Amino acid sequence: MHEFRCEGCGVAIQSEDPKQVGYAPAQALNRESVLCQRCFRIRHYGQIEAVEQDPDAYYRLLDAIASTDSLVVLVVDLFDFAGSWIPGLHRRIGNNPLLLVANKVDLFPPSTKWGRLREWVYQSARDMGVHPVEVIMCSAAKGMKMRDAVQAIEYHRRGRDVYIVGTTNVGKSTFINGLIKEVTEEGEDVITTSPYPGTTLDAIRIPLDDGKEMIDTPGIVRKDRVSEWVEPKELKLVVPQSTLKPKVYQLNEEQTLFFGGFARFDFVRGPKQPFVCYLSNRLYVHRTKLAQADDIWRKHRGGLLTPPRNPEALPRWKKHPIHLNGRQKQDIVISGLGWVACGKEKATLEVWAPDGIQVTTRPALI
Ligand SMILES: Nc1nc2c(ncn2[C@@H]2O[C@H](COP(=O)(O)OP(=O)(O)OP(=O)(O)O)[C@@H](O)[C@H]2O)c(=O)[nH]1
Ligand SMILES: [Mg+2]
């Protein structure tokens, strides 16, 4: 019997059980393209049903690329570069060339120094053991630099298949929809996209002109980013939807910032200085005295300090001590939440975030 696949998410279609993943009514299977019930609901009602995912299956899909002769396109989210990297990627793709797509440039303010940012992306990739054939900086959602992406893929694939890989929610499927819109008259999205991680469920094969294929893949899940722990309702408050408006705080020592109820930033010691927060514009930032911070957290978590509404569902906070030596401007990155740009002053800081969430420093990006 012919096996049907959902055009929107790649899942195998079944018509027996509406409660199970991949359901589509039997009468829908005669159509040229089939959409599963879950994709239908995402597209028409913006509702998502979380699906129990098997991380190993996604890694197996990825590892199978090593034995193919193809172009690998890694899509990363510029807002969460380190958190959207696939661990051990360089070992998984064999000798295939890698084109790096840094997506979501629309989130960066106009003051961004693009040349420096691109150089930083190259360098970061090299630090992770990968030598991209090219870096494309684009916005798939806003259709920025998509012509460059089409040309780069065509140039580097040299008649081969193209695998689009990355962690969840970086915009892989939006990117493919954007490519399709760029080269055809197609105005509608072909693949289902959503603000929730875990939208694509299996490989989706899109035929190319020369008989080869472009393959969308399910995102690799990384639990060390805040965005993976957010309930669907709260995601829009945490994941930025529009250009970041940096918030500047002139802090004295012994002052604290709460980022919703996800993280806490203590300026313990140092001269008065500005801290510039690059977070979702909709995330509430609460400023207080360090001496009162514990009390405020006890009283107001899940209330004033939201999201999350239910902080108990997240791992307990872990303290990350950070010392700025004043020699170089640094960003302190809380994966999936954003970053704080620090000036060229000495400072002793403590950042609190749920245990397991990556907290890192890097040279200032903007
Ligand atoms: N701001 C911004 N958002 C984007 C961009 N591209 C994609 N997004 C958003 O990112 C979210 C995830 O997009 P998808 O295309 O579903 O991501 P994916 O990588 O296919 O995710 P999975 O299928 O879960 O692995 C959606 O809300 C998109 O609208 C972009 O260029 N800029
Ligand atoms: Mg997808």
Task: State the pLDDT at residue 28.
Answer: 85
Residue nearest atom 12 in ligand 1 by C-alpha distance? 169
Rounded CA gap, 307 and 238, in Å?
A: 8
- Compute the distance from residue 226 Cα to the ligand 2 centre, in Å: 19
Q: Which residues pair with 165 in a beta bridge?
A: 74
- Compute the distance from residue 104 Cα to the ligand 1 centre, in Å: 8
Residues 6+ apart with CB under 8 A from 257: 249, 251, 264, 265, 275, 277, 285, 286, 287
b/e per residue 354-364 (b: at least 16 CB within 10 A): beebbbebeeb
- Compute the distance from residue 91 Cα to the ligand 1 centre, in Å: 25
Confidence of residue 231 (pLDDT cuts 50, 70, 90): confident
Residue nearest atom 4 in ligand 1 by C-alpha distance? 141
Rounded CA gap, 212 and 46, in Å?
A: 33
Which residues have any ligand 1 atom within 6 Å of their CB? 103-104, 106-107, 139-142, 166, 168-174, 193-195, 197-200, 218-219
What is the torsional sign of CA 150, 153, 157, 158?
positive
- Compute the distance from residue 276 Cα to the ligand 2 centre, in Å: 32
Confidence of residue 19 (pLDDT cuts 50, 70, 90): very high
Residue nearest atom 13 in ligand 1 by C-alpha distance? 171
Residue nearest atom 21 in ligand 1 by C-alpha distance? 169
Ligand nearest to the CA of 172: 1
**Does residue 289 contact residue 319 with C-beta atoms inside 8 Å?**
no
Rounded CA gap, 125 and 81, in Å?
A: 10
pLDDT tens digit string along 96-137? 999 999 999 999 998 899 999 999 999 999 999 999 999 999
Task: State the pLDDT at residue 169.
Answer: 95
Task: State the pLDDT at residue 54.
Answer: 85
Rounded CA gap, 313 and 327, in Å?
A: 39
Residues shown for the chain? 366
**Does residue 320 contact residue 350 with C-beta atoms inside 8 Å?**
yes
Report the number of secondary-structure helices (H) and strands (E) in the chain: 8, 16
